[in-house]
Structure formats: C-alpha cells, structure tokens
Amino acid sequence: MTLFTALLSGLIFGLGLLLSGMASPAKVLGFLDLAGAWDPSLALVMAGAMAVGLIAFGVAGQRSRSLLDQPMQLPSTRQIDRRLVGGSVLFGIGWGLAGFCPGPALVGLGLGSGPALLFVAAMLVGMKLFDWLERRQATARVAAATASVAQADGPGH
C-alpha cells in the first residue's frame, strides 16, 4: 500500500507540474528574469505550495506515525549552517541555469526531454559526488579520532 501511495502521489505531483506549466524550463526562467519579461505565475504556485506545506507540517508535527502507519521522519534540526546555505546556493545556480529542479526534471525525463535527461544525469553525478565526499570526510574523522586516542594513551599503554 505504501508503494502504491507513493506512486499515486508522484503521479499527482507530476500532473500538477504539467497543468501549471511548472515542468517547462521557459516558465521557470521567465520567473527568474526579474529585469526582463518577468512571469509571476511561479510565485503564485510557490505561495500555494507553502500554504499547503505549512498546514501539512503543522499536522505532521503533532503525530508520531503517518496515515499509512509509517514513522514520521521530520527534520530534527532547524539550524542554518554553511552546508545548508551552500546547498541552497548550488540548487539556485542549477535552477537558474537549467530552468529545472528535481521534480520538473523527472517529469521532463518522462516526456523524453533531452535537457531534462542531461539535468537528471548531472543531478545523479552530483549526488554520487556528495556521497563520496561525505564518506571520505567520515573516514578522515574516524582516523583523526583514532589517532587522538592513541596519542592520549601514550607509549606503553
């Protein structure tokens, strides 16, 4: 039932992107073109999504399990740190250059769009690169902690 609900939710989301025109990079780039022929329609879609999201997160925060009896997995931190800002900047740069973000890119991929294919491929490479860097940093932290413990124990311990 969970997989079916996820599939149905994704289909409804994709249909909403198509009907609103938000799967079109031209629409997104028109919204981002503040100095030219600015198209405010994406702002209205975003405002609607934020309203729905605020209500949904408010309800979800009061529950320990979802309607499908799955554990709630909400973010545990509200800290704005370097990683969050850096990721947001990278997202914005990619969005501004390509006119895609992940959801509309997947819709475009389903429609056979070449630019969407390129975007999704770049997105997957970026995800793999992030995972590799995270693993590398974790290994370095473990090695540093092990060296610190060994040094604290001193010779002969």
Residue 26 to residue 78: CA distance in whole angstroms: 33
Read off the DSSP letter of residue 96.
H
Residue 64 to residue 70: CA distance in whole angstroms: 9
Number of domains, the chain: 1
Token pair belonging to 97:
């250059």
> pLDDT tens, position by position, for the chain (157 residues)?
888 999 999 999 999 889 888 888 888 888 888 888 888 988 888 899 899 999 999 999 999 998 888 899 888 888 999 989 999 999 899 888 888 989 999 999 999 999 999 999 999 999 999 999 999 999 999 988 888 887 777 665 5
Residue 20 to residue 90: CA distance in whole angstroms: 25
Cα 40 to its chain centre, rounded Å, is 23
CB 108 within 8 A of CB 100: yes
Residue 110's domain comprises 2-153
Q: Which amino acid, 102?
A: P
CB 20 within 8 A of CB 45: yes
Q: What pLDDT is stored for residue 34 in this prediction? A: 87
Residue 115 to residue 104: CA distance in whole angstroms: 11
Beta strands in 8-154 (DSSP E): none
CB 62 within 8 A of CB 52: no
The pLDDT tens digits for 29-73 are: 888 888 888 889 888 888 998 999 999 999 999 999 988 888 998
First to last CA, the chain: 57
